[in-house]
């Protein structure tokens, strides 16, 4: 039984070189931090559905020396004051679900699990169109930076996965007599 566990464990490990491991650890830390923040926000929202978030936003703005009476900030405060509990509940559920996914991705990457690389590539890629839509309709430097980071993560993980597939592919001759490794750049 122990031999089976070792074999299965070896098959799911990515076993990347040390330099790749450092980069994967950075990605894992980013995912874990984001997951913890999203879970904390989701839990807070679940237990504070009846709170006046407009008042809270106003206090935070004053604490960091912003004037909540400025037109742009006042719109945010007014929107948050009239935010229905049903929308907060939906936001809480989304934050909890996405936070859990981020924690799973980060933990899997930290533990050098191959499946975590696939999950991270797929989940991040699926959300990129929504992030791009948001950037086009409400542009900001933070959204652009987030998209750039996510594109870099997807690109890097896709590169690692592709490289791993190439290394594990058998060197069989093709119909023309060439080996598969000779066809790849």
**Of 12-16, 43-47, 130-134, 177-181, the least confident:** 177-181
**What's the CA gap between 161 and 14, in Å, rounded?**
9
Contacts of 56 (CB under 8 A, 6+ apart): 80
What crossing angle do the helices spanning 71-81 and 53-63 adopt, rounded to 10°?
Answer: 150
State yes or no: pLDDT of 178 exceeds 60: no
Contacts of 108 (CB under 8 A, 6+ apart): 28, 115, 116, 117, 119, 120
Higher-confidence residue of 82 and 126: namely 126
Mean pLDDT across the chain: 84
**What's the CA gap between 148 and 154, in Å, rounded?**
10
**What's the CA gap between 73 and 70, in Å, rounded?**
5
Q: How far apart are the first and last CA of the chain?
A: 41
116 near 35, Cβ under 8 Å? no
Residue range 144-156, pLDDT digits in tens: 999 999 999 999 9
- Tell which phi-psi region holds residue 148, choosing left (phi > 0), alpha (psi between -120 and 50) or beta: alpha
């Amino acid at each position: 039984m122990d031999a089976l566990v070792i074999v299965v464990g070896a098959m799911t490990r990515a076993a990347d070189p040390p330099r790749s491991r450092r980069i994967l650890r950075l990605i894992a830390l980013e995912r874990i931090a984001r997951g913890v923040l999203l879970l904390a926000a989701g839990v807070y929202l679940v237990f504070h559905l009846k709170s006046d978030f407009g008042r809270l936003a106003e206090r935070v703005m004053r604490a960091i020396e912003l004037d909540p009476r400025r037109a742009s900030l006042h719109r945010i405060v007014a929107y948050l004051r009239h935010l229905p509990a049903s929308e907060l509940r939906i936001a809480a559920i989304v934050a909890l679900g996405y936070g859990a996914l981020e924690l799973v991705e980060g933990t899997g990457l930290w533990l050098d699990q191959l499946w975590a690389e696939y999950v991270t590539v797929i989940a991040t890629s699926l959300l990129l169109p929504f992030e791009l839509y948001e950037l086009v309709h409400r542009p900001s430097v933070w959204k652009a930076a987030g998209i750039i980071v996510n594109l870099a993560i997807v690109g890097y993980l896709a590169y690692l996965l592709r490289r791993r597939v190439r290394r594990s592919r058998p060197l069989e001759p093709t119909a023309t007599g060439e080996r598969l490794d000779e066809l790849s750049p």
